[in-house]
Structure 1
């Protein structure tokens, strides 16, 4: 596999001098997609890892099926199209760790790999970028709204605002360019909906005209979170990555993705889940919300549950079971 290498910290190696000898610390190789957002996310993790451990990290840019194709994600098989090539490189020993947008990962574990760290999460909400500074409620009926996510399509249609939802693909700046005044592009749409986290990470927050309330549009499971993987057998890298762990973020995304897995749905299904830390009678607990919405917006089921952080996975499974009892499977089947 051909890869371009960029140094994520000054110098190819950090030299540590001891009384006995001079020891060269070999850089860790971090596999990532080449998009601006992926590189930025990976550099953030690389810099944090070097700051926490003193070990230098270099980025190895890899091409994935999702990057090479212009087809809709669902047409390519949905889950995993942005991570399979990176995982192959990791298993082959071509890189030592990988950083993914957590929501892109399949829910089933990958043999030989471990999710060694979940760093603190960015704001997981969706964001609207609209012409003339408009909010969602201010856009007139018939406005053309771009999004590539079935979850967003379904929830936007369910709002009953008479919006024309247009499927789009491409990186963040390509999508922003579809809105007049938001970037370089055709400006052929009235608005686009994107993850606020991605806009934040690459410095595009100024383009947001409204951050969408989860009561209107519930985020995707694990949206805004990063997943850092390494080989299960690589004890040294596992130990180093453990210093980046944020226990609360992991509990939240474990609950959300347990819901997704129990629904047997992938990242291209119209499923939303969002967990937050709340104060319960016995101390901190998770407040989990989830929904499944018909792709045409005509119907949907939504529920919530609370429980201890230690029971995050069980909480997600229980909420999924409730949604299935109320017709979630039929809604997803209709969408397919």
Structure 2
């Protein structure tokens, strides 16, 4: 007897379809059941406004979550950086698979590196976080750049460079990796230059909280280290009371001695988009063993950042 396919809800974009397809294959392997992709259009996909203007938080997620709650799909795949920090009671984050490269990258004309861009170079990004850190770096290193707000999929963004409208665009390494276009990158931005968005490079696999069998099956794909890292990053974001379109960067990474993981370091940054003011701090401690310990790590760093004026740098998004 043929088993009913599991229905995986995904956004329609090329990147979303690619990463959902990879998750679907992994779920087939752990469950032995067929998986079909169900394409869902989200508000963030159809709106042409800047993400910061339409709220940012949840614009790529709400329609998928609604489909889950209505029983139209069995589980959904999100880019974790798009998820609001508040988890609905009826849904559960069943798995956070091993994280891809969390870094931001540059795709520039003439194969240029970021620091080799000409004076007055126009760099496109739709992210206030990227604008804040690129402009701060440029100010402190004597670079003359202009950050230009853009929207659109990978093809659209890289097209601005190919057509000569922009000198460079900033994208996530993970997305380009997942669609097989990482060879178009001209520079990988060190996390010491630009901290990624909380959760960047990680995926979230979500299903309803009452589906114990599916939760257990999807849990096979969970990577414990990735989960505690992104939990700490998202806890920082939540404690700053900032949405996923706010100019906040965060990265928790594991500090290892050879093969032995010793500690976790959490770094956070908040800045004004013009790069004139930033608050950047870090904390290092034992690798969290529980969800609550990871939450506490994020909250502690956020408290220190707020004490140094972080809320004032986020403007209205801090409220």
Same fold (TM over 0.5): yes
> Taking structure 2 as the reference length, what is the TM-score of the superposition?
0.94
Q: Give the structure 1 partner of residue 245 of structure 2.
A: 268
**C-alpha displacement of 1:25:** 1.6
**C-alpha displacement of 1:285:** 2.3
Q: In the alignment, is residue 61 of structure 1 matched against residue 43 of structure 2?
A: no
1:1-336 alignment runs, 5 A limit: 23-159=1-137, 160=139, 161-180=143-162, 186-279=163-256, 284-307=262-285, 308-310=287-289, 311-333=293-315
Q: For 1:89 and 1:335, how far apart are their aligned partners in 2?
A: 28
State which structure, 1 or 2, has the greater radius of gyration over its C-alpha atoms.
1
Relative contact order (C-alpha < 8 Å, sep 6+): which is higher?
Answer: 2
Q: 1:255 touches 1:275 (CA, 8 Å); kept in 2?
A: yes
Provide, for residues 246-296 of structure 1, a one-character-per-residue CA deviation record: whole Å limited to 9, x for no partner.
00110110010000000000111110000111137x953211111111121
**C-alpha displacement of 1:173:** 1.1
Q: 2:247 touches 2:271 (CA, 8 Å); kept in 1?
A: yes
Q: For 2:116 and 2:125, how far apart are their aligned partners in 1?
A: 18
Provide, for residues 153-210 of structure 1, a one-character-per-residue CA deviation record: whole Å limited to 9, x for no partner.
1111111222111111011111111112xxxxx3311000000000110011111011
**C-alpha displacement of 1:111:** 2.4
Q: 1:283 to 1:66 in 2, by over 3 A?
A: closer
Q: For 1:283 and 1:266, how far apart are their aligned partners in 2?
A: 31
Equivalent pairs counted in the alignment come to 309
List 4+ stretches of structure 1 deviating above 3 A.
none
Q: 2:158 touches 2:169 (CA, 8 Å); kept in 1?
A: yes
> Taking structure 1 as the reference length, what is the TM-score of the superposition?
0.89
Q: 1:295 touches 1:335 (CA, 8 Å); kept in 2?
A: no
Q: CA RMSD in A?
A: 1.5
